[in-house]
Structure 1
Amino acid sequence: MPTDQSVPTPAAIRPFQLTLIWKIFLTAGLCCLIAVFVPSVFLRFALVICAAILALLGAAVAVRQRLLGGRTKRLDMTAQQLLSHDVDNAFLTDDNCNITYANPVAIARFGECAGQSLCDILADMLANPEGVLQRLVRRVANGGASKEDIVTRAGHFRLSVSSIARDRMLWRLDDLGELGGGAGRSPEQIPLPLLNTSANGTIAHLNDAARALIGSRPKTVGEVIEDLPLRSGQAHTLRLANGRTRAIVVVVEAKHGGRDVFILPDAVIDAAPRQLEAEWDAIEDLPVPLLKIGANGDVLASNREARQLLHLDDTDGSRMADILDGLGRPMNDWLSEAAEGRGGHASQFLRGRGNNQDTFVQVTLNIAGGSDDRHLIAVLNDVTELKTLEAQFVQSQKMQAIGQLAGGVAHDFNNLLTAISGHCDLLLLRHDEGDQNYGDLIQIHQNANRAASLVGQLLAFSRKQNLQPEVIDLRDTLSDLTHLLNRLVGEKVTLRLHHDPALAQIKADKRQLEQVLMNLVVNARDAMSGAGEIKVTTENLTLKSQMVRDRAVVPPGDYVVVKVIDEGHGIPPDKLTKIFEPFWTTKRTSEGTGLGLSTAYGIVKQTGGYIFVDSDPGVGTQFSLLFPSYDLPVANAVPIKPESPKIAPVAVDGVVLLVEDEAPVRAFASRALRLRGYTVLEADCAEAALDLLEDRDLHVDIFVTDVIMPGLDGPTWVRQALLDRPETRVVFVSGYAEDAFSDAETPIPNSVFLPKPFSLNALTQTVHAQLQEEALSA
């Protein structure tokens, strides 16, 4: 169809075009008549030429109109043939919405429509048909087609229109077959008072029961209900023709922002007329879960939506305490208070019982019935998804809090271990192997190292450990680790490795990655009770689009996948969400600390990877590790000519400014440095160190400072000090990871990092290397 026929043309243009044809021919005739009386030959010739041109133009316009008319007739015939078999109401109209054709379905519903206006046909269905039709016609002018869902007395319908020619539009009225709230019946078939409202509170339709109750035709919800806003499941004050009354209102969200407002019949007190004395069965199809409850807790009745929500076949003989739980006090006490009017209208969030524990509902109670038949109406709202999201949020907050706690404990514990192992080193300097105390000191030193490894697991969980990433090939790493893994799994467990021949490289801390693999393999061994097969496979994975799994979103890209698969007893679904929590374990107290999987989780996440678990109870478990592939080429090493080493004097008499807030750590570090010949100035905080440096005559060769301290932290005060002493070397020490204080800041020049706990030799060698580097660069 040509583009110029996609937008309707106002009907006023057509009579204007017919009149124009006669004007053209009339003008041509006048030109010929004037030429007869004009004496000038030249002017006479010009008028004849103009008359001829006008005559040709008029003939062309007449031919075009005739062709368009014939085309419109053919289009009408084609459209009528197609629409005659349409199962929905269809109309052909001109630009003024005058009906030129109605299909048999429309005629059967509305009678003979030809020659009538579409506004007249829809007047009984729409409160403002002119406005709706004008709005749709304007949209057609912009896009060629439009549609709108409307609420009628017979239910929900969709009115659509499209332009099929310059002066023809096709209208369709489709029956959506359901009420906005999903009741599945027309409003007139529902014995409950029902108000169909728009998003702004305008009442689009009242059913017969609502008109009988209200006694008038209100235009807005505010004219019927006084105490707005509407609160579903709670009592509201109604304005009726014979006065005011209280009734429970149930609000169901409909499509396109509208709402269906139901008024419960047996919740209306002293309402007249008494057409509302319907049985409870009248709300069986109401699209909101409802329960009728006695003051003693017996469930007297329920509708279909409530039974579906609670996964019950029927509620005969049931009690509220048998269906729902989680109130925190006896259910009957709550119901009795509500029946006596002492409970207010506060909602309670409850969960199902038995096999229905994964369902959460919000329950709102209202008093209904007379003094001799006092009962409660419970309006239920499914909040399972909301409670699930809330539980996930609480879980993430708990994991974050535990991570912060673990990091803080590890930091403080590292300070203690530094003091313990440091002073142990000082004692070992004065005791040789023949001394009777030497063995005790070695035991202290070894146990301090074991404690340091445990602290390392805490830091791994909180993602604050020190990593030394390098480009590695997992095939080589696993090959080197195979001997140790075979010893771990024992003789009855078979360990099988399968690698992708073209496996990509990754960038990770090799030592920490080995720790992750050992933890997973040991867990797999324990899950199989010491017998079975463990598979470790590696493969490449390319994600074209992001992968959403659990609460993680894996961006597209190239990854290396490591899978650890066992044939054990599996993990129950209710425990899968807890396996990465620290100190949570299914093993006995003497068999595990509960830090294995949490450590693996922390290492993988700190490396930039992802860890997922799939488990089928009784079949086995599969852990999948995803690491971003590292495909940067490694440049060939350029041969360097050997040079003779420079011999520089070792500065053993340098001045060290030691800043440490922990007194035991400061005492050990100060003694260790003095034993190596350094002059040590001590400060217990950053402010005291800056006060010392205000003396311009004081010479300091190197700063040794803790990172995390009360007041100014290490990097902050060092930056201030380096403004006046830019050449001073720096050694940062901390129980946290190195990147815990440098992510958002530029690196400090001439500085190195020494993690806690450090030994006497590690401290003195680090300071010595810094001063020697300064001497070599001088």
Structure 2
Amino acid sequence: MEVTQQARHLSISATRINQSPVALPITQSASSQEELCLALEQLHVTQKALSQAKQKLAIASQRLKQEQQQLQSAHQKIAEQATLFSQLEHQFDRDQRLERVVALASGVVHDLNNVFAPIVSISQLLRLKHPGLDARSQEMLRALEDSARRGASMVQQILISTQGSGQKCSPVQIAPLLQDVITLIHHTFPASICIYQNIPDPALGLVLADPTELHQILMNLCVNARDAMPTGGTLTISAENCAIDASMAQQHQNAHVGNYVVVTIADTGIGIAPDLRDRIFEPFFTTKTPDQGTGLGLATVLNIVKSYGGFIQVFSDLGKGTEVKVYLPYVTAPEPRGSEPDANPSPAVGSHLAPHSPSDRDS
């Protein structure tokens, strides 16, 4: 720095001499000239070093900026991983809770089966052994048998909701099933509900499932959507092929990398409160009145979907509606033989089934 200051003073002095109106004789000695040249040379070296230092400082600043960006990116990834871990932990806790409920329900189902079976058998036997009973007694025995059968049917439903039905699965084209469901709900749902569909029939893959169970799943979700729109709204049913990558598979406990058919059923209803969203698949949990639901519908849906190797996502906002996505892995099996084209073709892809008056609906 001292050399730089000396050189600066020399430069200023030289400038003043050049600008002076009086021509002064230059009587500098050879040694003074050498010192001046040396100082100027040192100034040049210093300026070059300063320029290099500035360049190094710029490079260091750029590296620091890159490291800061990398640090921010690492912090973001850590936050994402923490969020993902929290979600998976939450799903694990929910599954553990469901397993406990399932274990309890399975035990109750077994005991109830043992209760209803002899009631049905004895009521049938009494009617056969005593055909001469009066009409009132016969009616009471029939009522007893019917009630026991209904109880046995409810027990069977509980069993399916907790363990699955164990039905044999086969490659199924999901598009025709969806069209059947859409036709049914179009004729039975209130006219205040508009139904939209977007189903690319030829492009959808086959899913390995039981057609009856699959129909039950889709109807159950549509009925729930209807119940969420008591004053009317819009029900949208769509289906598409979807590839699940490793990133998305990590976000859901039951998801795996591969190809799926995803069916989306969305409504514009009342929505689901955040504190209830994780409980909707619990057996016997319902927000409906006892005469409207038993709380087994969504539990049955979840267990059947899981038995197919699929999973479900639910997105909901209070006052805006709910979107349920059912992911089913699709197979590359050949198309089942014997399938014939529908005599009554379904509406075109992406069409809107306009609501009509109740008098137009099937009874």
TM-score by length of 1: 0.32
Relative to 1, partners in 2 of residues 1:174 and 1:573: Cα closer, same or farther, differing over 3 Å? Answer: closer
Which residue of 131, 144, 161 corresponds with 1:461? 161
- Contact 2:236–2:265 (Cα < 8 Å) also in 1: yes
Letter in 2 for 1:479: Q
Q: Tell me, what secondary structure is at the counterpart of 1:536? A: strand
Which residue of 553, 564, 581 corresponds with 2:265? 564
Residue equivalent to 1:485 = 185
- Contact 1:489–1:521 (Cα < 8 Å) also in 2: no
Residue equivalent to 2:248 = 547
Relative to 1, partners in 2 of residues 1:449 and 1:472: Cα closer, same or farther, differing over 3 Å? Answer: farther
In the TM superposition, what are the counterparts of 1:194-213 in structure 2 within 5 Å?
Answer: none
Which residue of 60, 75, 85 corresponds with 2:55? 85
Residue equivalent to 1:474 = 174
Which residue of 418, 427, 433 corresponds with 2:126? 427
Which residue of 328, 331, 346 corresponds with 1:627? 328
Relative to 1, partners in 2 of residues 1:431 and 1:564: Cα closer, same or farther, differing over 3 Å? Answer: farther
Verify: 1:582 aligned to 2:283, yes or no: yes
Which residue of 235, 250, 264 corresponds with 1:534? 235
How far apart are 1:621 and its partner, in Å? Answer: 0.7
Relative to 1, partners in 2 of residues 1:607 and 1:425: Cα closer, same or farther, differing over 3 Å? Answer: farther
Residue equivalent to 1:417 = 116
Take 2:130 and 2:118, find their aligned partners in 1: how far apart are those partners?
A: 18
Bigger radius of gyration: 1
Which residue of 212, 220, 223 corresponds with 1:519? 220
Which residue of 430, 438, 447 corresponds with 2:138? 438
Take 1:399 and 1:578, find their aligned partners in 2: how far apart are those partners?
A: 9
Letter in 2 for 1:409: V
Q: Tell me, what secondary structure is at the counterpart of 2:155? A: helix
Relative to 1, partners in 2 of residues 1:395 and 1:506: Cα closer, same or farther, differing over 3 Å? Answer: closer
Deviation digits for residues 190-218 of structure 1, max 9, x if unmatched? Answer: xxxxxxxxxxxxxxxxxxxxxxxxxxxxx
Flag structure 1 segments of 5+ consecutive residues without an equivalent: 1-78, 91-104, 106-172, 179-382, 638-778
- Contact 1:88–1:174 (Cα < 8 Å) also in 2: no
How far apart are 1:628 and its partner, in Å? Answer: 1.0
CA RMSD, Structure 1 to Structure 2 (Å): 3.9
Take 1:395 and 1:540, find their aligned partners in 2: how far apart are those partners?
A: 28
- Higher helix content, 1 or 2: 2
Take 2:52 and 2:102, find their aligned partners in 1: how far apart are those partners?
A: 69
Verify: 1:450 aligned to 2:150, yes or no: yes
Deviation digits for residues 430-461 of structure 1, max 9, x if unmatched? Answer: 46699624333332333233223322332233
Take 2:110 and 2:139, find their aligned partners in 1: how far apart are those partners?
A: 29
Take 2:88 and 2:255, find their aligned partners in 1: how far apart are those partners?
A: 20
Q: Tell me, what secondary structure is at the counterpart of 2:95? A: helix
Q: Tell me, what secondary structure is at the counterpart of 1:547? A: helix
Deviation digits for residues 597-634 of structure 1, max 9, x if unmatched? Answer: 12211121122211111112222111111111122125
Deviation digits for residues 32-91 of structure 1, max 9, x if unmatched? Answer: xxxxxxxxxxxxxxxxxxxxxxxxxxxxxxxxxxxxxxxxxxxxxxx998666212899x
Q: Tell me, what secondary structure is at the counterpart of 1:496? A: strand
Take 1:544 and 1:398, find their aligned partners in 2: how far apart are those partners?
A: 28
Letter in 2 for 1:404: A
Aligned length: 276
- Higher strand content, 1 or 2: 1
Take 2:66 and 2:329, find their aligned partners in 1: how far apart are those partners?
A: 50
Take 1:402 and 1:506, find their aligned partners in 2: how far apart are those partners?
A: 29
- Contact 2:88–2:252 (Cα < 8 Å) also in 1: no
How far apart are 1:566 and its partner, in Å? Answer: 0.7
Take 2:332 and 2:132, find their aligned partners in 1: how far apart are those partners?
A: 51
Relative to 1, partners in 2 of residues 1:405 and 1:550: Cα closer, same or farther, differing over 3 Å? Answer: farther
Deviation digits for residues 141-176 of structure 1, max 9, x if unmatched? Answer: xxxxxxxxxxxxxxxxxxxxxxxxxxxxxxxx9899
Relative to 1, partners in 2 of residues 1:524 and 1:585: Cα closer, same or farther, differing over 3 Å? Answer: same
Take 1:452 and 1:562, find their aligned partners in 2: how far apart are those partners?
A: 32
In the TM superposition, what are the counterparts of 1:12-161 in structure 2 within 5 Å?
Answer: 85-87=55-57
Verify: 1:498 aligned to 2:198, yes or no: yes
Take 2:67 and 2:166, find their aligned partners in 1: how far apart are those partners?
A: 64
Take 1:552 and 1:388, find their aligned partners in 2: how far apart are those partners?
A: 9
Deviation digits for residues 611-663 of structure 1, max 9, x if unmatched? Answer: 111112222111111111122125869xxxxxxxxxxxxxxxxxxxxxxxxxx
Residue equivalent to 1:408 = 107
Take 1:523 and 1:549, find their aligned partners in 2: how far apart are those partners?
A: 29
- Contact 2:206–2:333 (Cα < 8 Å) also in 1: no
Take 1:476 and 1:384, find their aligned partners in 2: how far apart are those partners?
A: 39
Residue equivalent to 2:210 = 509
Letter in 2 for 1:632: A
- Contact 2:266–2:321 (Cα < 8 Å) also in 1: yes
Take 1:630 and 1:554, find their aligned partners in 2: how far apart are those partners?
A: 16
Take 1:448 and 1:486, find their aligned partners in 2: how far apart are those partners?
A: 34
- Contact 2:171–2:336 (Cα < 8 Å) also in 1: no
Take 1:415 and 1:399, find their aligned partners in 2: how far apart are those partners?
A: 24
Relative to 1, partners in 2 of residues 1:527 and 1:419: Cα closer, same or farther, differing over 3 Å? Answer: same
- Contact 1:499–1:537 (Cα < 8 Å) also in 2: yes
How far apart are 1:472 and its partner, in Å? Answer: 2.0
Relative to 1, partners in 2 of residues 1:387 and 1:511: Cα closer, same or farther, differing over 3 Å? Answer: closer
Q: Tell me, what secondary structure is at the counterpart of 2:331? A: coil
Residue equivalent to 1:617 = 318
Take 2:86 and 2:242, find their aligned partners in 1: how far apart are those partners?
A: 35
Relative to 1, partners in 2 of residues 1:428 and 1:558: Cα closer, same or farther, differing over 3 Å? Answer: farther
In the TM superposition, what are the counterparts of 1:310-349 in structure 2 within 5 Å?
Answer: none
- Contact 1:490–1:530 (Cα < 8 Å) also in 2: no
Letter in 2 for 1:477: L
Q: Tell me, what secondary structure is at the counterpart of 1:419? A: helix
Take 2:183 and 2:84, find their aligned partners in 1: how far apart are those partners?
A: 48
Q: Tell me, what secondary structure is at the counterpart of 1:629? A: strand
How far apart are 1:401 and its partner, in Å? Answer: 0.5
Take 2:336 and 2:289, find their aligned partners in 1: how far apart are those partners?
A: 51
Relative to 1, partners in 2 of residues 1:561 and 1:386: Cα closer, same or farther, differing over 3 Å? Answer: closer
Take 1:455 and 1:574, find their aligned partners in 2: how far apart are those partners?
A: 29
Take 2:219 and 2:302, find their aligned partners in 1: how far apart are those partners?
A: 13
In the TM superposition, what are the counterparts of 1:349-388 in structure 2 within 5 Å?
Answer: none
Residue equivalent to 1:227 = none
Relative to 1, partners in 2 of residues 1:574 and 1:510: Cα closer, same or farther, differing over 3 Å? Answer: same
Letter in 1 for 2:264: K
Take 1:498 and 1:176, find their aligned partners in 2: how far apart are those partners?
A: 46
In the TM superposition, what are the counterparts of 1:600-749 in structure 2 within 5 Å?
Answer: 600-633=301-334
Letter in 2 for 1:449: R
- Contact 1:489–1:530 (Cα < 8 Å) also in 2: no
